A and B are shown apart, each in its own frame.
Chain A
Amino acid sequence: MMAIQHLEGAIHVGARTSEGPEAERLAAFEQFTQGRLERAYRLAGLILRDPSEAEDAVHDAAVQAWLHWKELRDQERMDAWFDRILVNGCRARMRGRSIRPLVLADPPEAPGPDSLARLGDRDVLHRALATLDADHRIAVVLRYIAELTPGEIAARTGAREGTVKSRLHYALRQMRAALEAAERTPGGLR
């Protein structure tokens, strides 16, 4: 029954109008998405670690935002609303991936202005961050790149604030464990 009712809604391809509510919605949507495109793409790229997939995720989020534009009741929460659409999309994309720590072979990184030890730290951390599952990776990116508080992350992920704190705590502990494991290895950090 649901499926039949589902199709009762009229769906039609829109044509751009120059005035009226539809034009206002179009203008508001374009202003909103263009103003947030850089940030959204960066967050999606950092979560997904794949620029091509990040582009698709941002596009999908924009589609969802356009489809649900009229349903946004609280205009002041637009950023959190769009973040949530984006993050949910990224999570769905990551869900199908298979990430299990097994073997790694990355080329050594060229020395820069930092000390070799620091470069090694970051290399180890970079690889360890890549082993986090979707929820932990999202929490880390939103906390340390988007600089959101656990409460703000909770609002964007649907998780409880305590769960967000737990995920961040776990992720940092994993990073520390990865560093310590590398230090125990003969030769230490490279």
Chain B
Amino acid sequence: MNDERLEGEVRTALQKDDPGPVRDELRRRIAAVPDAMPTRRNLVRSPHVSGWMASLRAVAAVVVVGAIIVAALGLRGSNLGPASSASPSATPTGPAPSGSAATPTPSATPVTAPSATSPITGDWHGLRWSAPSAFPGAQAIDDIVTWNGGYIAAAQVQRDNPNQQPGFWSSSDATTWTRLNIDTTAFPDSQINGLVHTASGLLAWGWAGEPVCSGSGEGGTTCEPRPVMLWTSPDGVSWTQVADISTFKGATIEGVTAGSQGLVAVGDTGWNKTAIWVSATGAAWQRLTLPAAGFKDAHFSSVSATSWGYVAGGAVGGQAPVCCVSLPSTGVAAAWWSTDGQTWTRASVQRTGGVGSDLGAIAVGAQGMVAVGSASGGKSGSTAWTSTDGRTWKPIALAPDIAYFGAPAVSPGVPTLPAYTIEGDGARLIAVGQDAAFQLAIWTSLDGLDWQQLPFSGATAAIPSTIDDYMVPGGLIAVGAAGGSQTGTSWLITALP
């Protein structure tokens, strides 16, 4: 079947989901919108208010927000104080996991009480954008990490061949990118999903090939996940496929992170077959034997490293999704924590959205963590939780711009999350979204509760309305589209003190 006919068949197949004519009820709901909605909103997000009134506002805000945080959320306490000198390093390299992947013993109390206490030096009060620069030959950027004083980017290569081909680009300043000459035979029809630092270099993780589907008709179609692929590199240029990936047979990896105790990957090998894998360098992996307690019907969505260990997000319970029917998630949001990557304990997650919620990606800051996930099977959009220790998670309110009806309501004085896209580097949290005028906006926070929008300066004329962002020391690297470019465009965004 040629492409033209295939496109025609796709058009026809899509028509089967046509919802039909608009019901009168919807017409009435739309017509009633102006009657039910506010007629004026004046969202003031800028933290920069001049004059004595600003000082009063700032003092009042700090007092009120602080009081509400302590009283209503009950999360802060001594963690508001300066960093503890006894806290472990947040550096994502260090000793390998000790011993074998023995069955961990669940414990109610961690060996070392986790507390997010990475020191922060200086503060950010603005972001200066560099002139845009191109990623020559790159299509979709997969990840960007720091490397050897500069940066390494993984991306899909632009090509006519239908097979996937990842490539790598390097830059010393994040403004001029050079494609690296790699041995492409190590990446047969592969796609990279992420890059992480290891004790001896870099690890790339992703998958290869196409979904292998079999069966049709009344018996149904079964598709196996695409084979997991892992690659290691000592220098970002020479890449080697991890030879023994048998422990990942039939697996789906949802996230990989590098922490002080080595690498941790989370995922599953099928419905209700939750899996955690650990590795010292990325070259050899072991699957942990998870205890039934805390992991029954568990499903991971993400894993992140903290200064004291690891946190994972996901859900428990629910029904196995059926192919080709977009059933909402029926689990309940859940999280887990570990100080060493080997022994995991289920955290306490205060319900929001109830059944159908999922605690997704977790961003780690110096004084708190933020997790963004779904609520009520997505029918209420997304929601978010915050935690200072990874053991207890509580929902936080969402700004009206991003909240759907049914999401946690914004109450007077309660801090709100300004956007869904949250990044964290263990010290600082960054939220990327759009302001009330649909223009790109970036906020910063140390705890996920108090957010400050950062004003832009520099080459701001060509800033796109959305970006992918990667945190780097002293700022961000943004990737987006500028001027209708078909290739990736990047900006170095330098934080201004």
Chain A contacts to B: CB under 8 angstroms: 1-14, 16, 22, 26, 29-30, 33-34, 37-38, 41-42, 44-46, 48-51, 53-56, 58-60, 62-63, 66-68, 71, 73, 81, 84, 89, 92-108, 118, 121-122, 124-131, 140-141, 144-145, 151, 154, 158-163, 165-166, 169, 172-179, 181-182, 184-185, 187-190
Contacts and interface: CB of A to CB of B under 8 A. Distances in A.
Contacts of A125: 9-10, 13
B19 A1 contact: no
Contact of B486 (A4, A9, A145, A160): A160
A13 B38 CA distance: 5
B381 A93 contact: yes
Place the interface of chain B in its size category.
Answer: 35 or more
Contacts of A127: 221, 323-324
Given A37-B22, A98-B329, A104-B220, A66 B7 contact: no
Interface of B: 1, 3, 6-7, 9-14, 16-23, 25-27, 29-31, 33-47, 49, 57-58, 60-62, 64-65, 139-140, 156, 158, 162, 210-223, 252, 271, 318, 320-331, 356-358, 373-379, 381-382, 399, 404-405, 410, 412-416, 418, 420, 436-438, 443, 450-453, 464-466, 480-481, 484-489
Contacts of A173: 162, 210
B321 A100 contact: yes
Nearest to B222: A103
B217 A190 contact: yes
A81 B436 CA distance: 13
A101 B44 CA distance: 44
A160 B485 contact: yes
Given A3-B414, A95-B374, A130-B324, A14 B436 contact: no
11 contacts: A5-B49, A5-B61, A11-B41, A33-B30, A37-B22, A41-B19, A122-B13, A127-B221, A127-B323, A154-B484, A177-B211
A59 B33 contact: yes
Contacts of B325: 104, 130
Contacts of B64: 4
Contact of A129 (B13, B216, B382, B443): B13
A176 B6 contact: yes
Given A51-B19, A176-B6, A182-B221, A62 B416 contact: no
Contacts of B49: 5
Nearest to B418: A2
B38 A14 contact: yes
A44 B41 CA distance: 27
A171 to B, nearest CB: 8
Contacts of A34: 27, 30-31
A184 B322 CA distance: 22
B39 A13 contact: yes
A102 B41 contact: no
Closest 6 CB pairs of A and B: A96-B378, A96-B374, A45-B19, A9-B42, A14-B39, A158-B466
Contacts of A128: 324
B312 to A, nearest CB: 17
Contacts of B139: 162-163, 166
Contacts of B329: 96-98
Contacts of B331: 98
